[in-house]
């Protein structure tokens, strides 16, 4: 798992919105995560993440038994795949992504940035109504948050959780995905204590770079053997290539014998 995310303009808009908000308030798979001293930014087959040691401010045991380890596996087993959609919701692109998913009978996990969810509660509710799952993707989408204080990490995670839950009408995020994979043992323990499984990815479609629809499709086809969790985006700029790629990728995955599920919670 490598760092990913939008350009400076996207991050600046999200950070500005976040500052405004926080001023007012705060299973069957071998794919696992590799930790590194600066965070937990990588994923490769067969390498297990070190256990997190809960730090001050994080509960020692996860609520309802949610593990602190970063999940990559699908609840549909070895031939299951997880479609994950990051950085929204967006009023232009999220409805189009939802339509493609609906057309193909696929459920996905939407990793939402808190202020985006707060600004578009109708879209959050539409995601939930369609049977998809919610994921906390922080307040500011700060890909360097693994180098920040624990109090900052806590604010980023718990404020976004609250914003998403309120926007959805009470449906809470099932997962937490650190921006750019910037997990720490503390953030994983905190997320798990709030009932959110830390969520990684195995296949980065590179759609954020807008390399062209054919390139996005080819990346997924070439890298699906890396693991079941595929990363796409529905915000942060023009996502027309993502929408077009999903129209091709979802039927192709079905043709290869894959089924669609959600990241394993336990």
DSSP 103-164: HHT---EEEE-HHHHHH-HHHHHHHHHTT-EEEE--SS--TTGGGS-HHHHHHHHHHHHHHH
Catalytic residue among 87, 132, 233, 234: 233
SS3 label, residue 254: helix
How many residues in total does the chain contain? 266
Q: 262: which residues sit within 8 A by CB, 6+ positions away? A: 74, 75, 82, 107, 109, 133, 174
Strand blocks (E) in the chain: 31-36, 39-45, 80-86, 109-112, 133-136, 175-176, 197-198, 203-204, 229-233, 259-261
Residue 194 catalytic?
Answer: no
Residues 220 and 67: beta-carbon distance below 8 Å: no
- Distance CA(68)–CA(82), nearest Å, equals 19
Asked if residue 193 lies in contact with residue 47, where contact means CB atoms within 8 angstroms, the answer is: no
Query: Among 72, 86, 137, 141, which one carries the catalytic annotation?
Result: 86
Q: Backbone phi, then psi, for 82, in 5-degree steps?
A: -115, 120
Integer Cα distance of 211 and 40 in angstroms: 26
Active site residue 141: no
Q: Is the dihedral of CA 172, 175, 181, 184 positive or negative?
A: positive
Which single residue is written with the structure tokens 């808009």? 13
Which residues participate in catalysis according to the annotation? Answer: 86, 233
């Amino acid at each position: 798992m490598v760092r990913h995310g939008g350009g400076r303009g996207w991050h600046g808009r999200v950070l500005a919105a976040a500052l405004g908000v926080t001023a007012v308030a705060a299973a069957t798979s071998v794919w696992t995560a590799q930790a590194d001293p600066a965070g937990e930014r990588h994923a490769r087959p067969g390498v297990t993440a070190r256990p997190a040691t809960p730090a001050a401010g994080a509960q020692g045991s996860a609520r309802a038994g949610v593990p602190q380890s970063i999940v990559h596996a699908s609840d549909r087993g070895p031939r299951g795949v997880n479609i994950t959609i990051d950085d929204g919701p967006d009023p232009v692109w999220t409805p189009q992504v939802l339509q493609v998913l609906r057309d193909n009978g696929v459920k996905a996990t939407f990793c939402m940035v808190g202020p985006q969810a707060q600004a578009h509660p109708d879209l959050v509710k539409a995601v939930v109504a369609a049977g998809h799952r919610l994921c906390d993707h922080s307040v500011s989408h700060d890909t360097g948050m693994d180098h920040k204080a624990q109090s900052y990490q806590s604010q980023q995670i718990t404020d976004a959780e609250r914003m998403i839950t309120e926007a959805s009408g009470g449906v809470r995020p099932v997962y937490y995905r650190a921006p750019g994979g910037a997990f720490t043992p503390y953030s994983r323990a905190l997320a798990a204590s709030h009932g959110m499984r830390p969520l990684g990815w195995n296949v980065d479609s590179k759609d954020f770079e807008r390399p062209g629809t054919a390139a996005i499709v080819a990346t997924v086809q070439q890298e699906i053997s890396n693991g079941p969790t595929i990363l796409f985006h529905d915000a942060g700029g023009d996502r027309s290539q993502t929408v077009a790629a999903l129209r091709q990728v979802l039927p192709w995955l079905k043709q290869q014998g894959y089924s669609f599920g959600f990241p394993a919670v336990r």
